[in-house]
Chain A
């Protein structure tokens, strides 16, 4: 898929394929690079190859070359130090690794050959290495077909401009790239360390029209960036994903960008894209249950958990990754849901649950209450280890400008006392400047001890 777009099909040669603050690349340059790499890496044909994958034209050129060479490609996060990457590559029995030179500025890859390579799968595959909550990465093997099936080609010549907010080597980042490149668009890649204001400025400068991002990404922009600047971005579509979408955020985005198409997507690394929602409402319609959806997935609820059968799912975990691929085609997502009337709402992740002296507390339910307290801009709720109660509910709050800290805490306490049960009430409240986000742009949920 990627190799045919970049190497074979008609492309707008002079148009930018990739825009970064430093190094833009035209489609013509991307094609030339992919062409050169296909020749340079000929020895990697039909082998197990890792690539240090960063958001830059040359990574996409390398990916197109490896697709052309039908290799089993493993995508490593470019932040991983070389030694760790090689150790992981040996564990996965790869034959070679394409490492980016240190510093991140110069281009090109160096090839590290490894011993003990396992045999090739028989056709080109793409394996996504996720960090996994236990620290042991999961190796989800997709094919170019499974990755590109959710792509919906837009009208010819539209040349949409997409913002890449996700990590380029993970499922969501690959989806954004494939959708953008399938439409011969331009991928705008922000620097990793951009603050919210710089991000908004970059979106304006790069003329970004399509943004696919987490709710946390948007909350941060809406809270910290001057609305005039933000509204200057020529947005056409906002797609939310990766985290649960709540109604206040949808309403706020609608109010900020009345002309924008608003959608939220449900996808996971293993299942691929499962479904999307376009009515501007949180959750999804109960009518989605028990039928085949446009993305060819099926949903059902079992013991409060969402189960999905997806046509876009991975083939398997890599046999050398240590993960067992389940034989059943229904996949328990770990996402807890609640049916209210004709709508299904997400309650939280099974693993995010806080156990307060035996009572189950879902962080999102608490966040929903605190988020609407006057003077609260943003909030994250998490479990704090307690020697007495197992865990207690703790929260970090970003105050709106000009708030008196003690008065705000009192107000939060008051609202929580009346709206939440005793175990749900936050016992530790800390005011912070901003909420920490994970590498995937999601609100950090890890427990603290």
Chain B
């Protein structure tokens, strides 16, 4: 995985930990909608990623097609 993909994976794993859930194995092509995360978990990840990268790709209101972890990481690369 790329450095950004690893960063995204870490943020997601952190959220699993705070929810008290077992941490899944995350790969670049892991489908995000099958992890059992709610939309608010995703919102939380976006804020955390903004803290880490200084970027919020969702602030522009653009409509992104995000299926995999890699799709999300590309926005922060």
> Could you list which residues of chain A lie within 8 angstroms of chain B, going by C-beta atoms?
356-357, 384, 386-389, 392, 409-410, 413-414, 417, 422-423, 427-428
Partner of A417, one of B19, B44, B46, B47: B19
Q: What are the 7 tightest A-B residue pairs by CB atom distance, in nearest-first order?
A: A389-B43, A388-B43, A387-B58, A427-B44, A387-B59, A386-B43, A413-B18
What is the distance, in angstroms, from A396's C-beta to the closest C-beta of chain B?
A: 15
Q: Given that A387-B56, A413-B18, A414-B20 are known contacts, is A428 also in contact with B40, CB under 8 Å in the complex?
A: no
Partner of B38, one of A410, A414, A422: A422
Are A384 and B47 interface neighbours, CB within 8 A? yes
Q: Quick check: is B39 within 8 A (CB to CB) of the other chain?
A: yes
In the complex, chain B residues whose CB is within 8 Å of the CB of A414: 20
Cα of A389 to Cα of B19 in the assembled complex, Å = 18
Are A357 and B39 interface neighbours, CB within 8 A? yes
What is the distance, in angstroms, from B46's C-beta to the closest C-beta of chain A?
A: 5
In the complex, chain A residues whose CB is within 8 Å of the CB of B46: 386-388
What is the predominant secondary structure among interface residues of chain B facing chain A? helix
Cα of A428 to Cα of B20 in the assembled complex, Å = 15
Central interface residue in B38, B42, B43, B56, by most chain A CB within 10 Å? B43
In the complex, chain A residues whose CB is within 8 Å of the CB of B44: 392, 427-428
What is the predominant secondary structure among interface residues of chain A facing chain B? mixed
| Chain B positions 20-38 with a Cβ under 8 Å from a chain A Cβ | 20, 38
The chain B residue sitting closest to A427, CB to CB, is B44
What is the distance, in angstroms, from B39's C-beta to the closest C-beta of chain A?
A: 7
The chain B residue sitting closest to A389, CB to CB, is B43
In the complex, chain B residues whose CB is within 8 Å of the CB of A417: 19-20
In the complex, chain B residues whose CB is within 8 Å of the CB of A423: 40
Partner of A392, one of B20, B43, B56: B43
In the complex, chain B residues whose CB is within 8 Å of the CB of A356: 40
Cα of A386 to Cα of B49 in the assembled complex, Å = 12
Cα of A413 to Cα of B59 in the assembled complex, Å = 27
Cα of A367 to Cα of B18 in the assembled complex, Å = 18
Identify 23 residue pairs between A and B in the complex whose beta-carbon atoms are under 8 Å apart, listed by A's number.
Answer: A356-B40, A357-B39, A357-B43, A386-B43, A386-B46, A387-B43, A387-B46, A387-B58, A387-B59, A388-B42, A388-B43, A388-B58, A389-B39, A389-B43, A392-B40, A392-B43, A413-B20, A417-B19, A417-B20, A422-B40, A423-B40, A427-B44, A428-B48
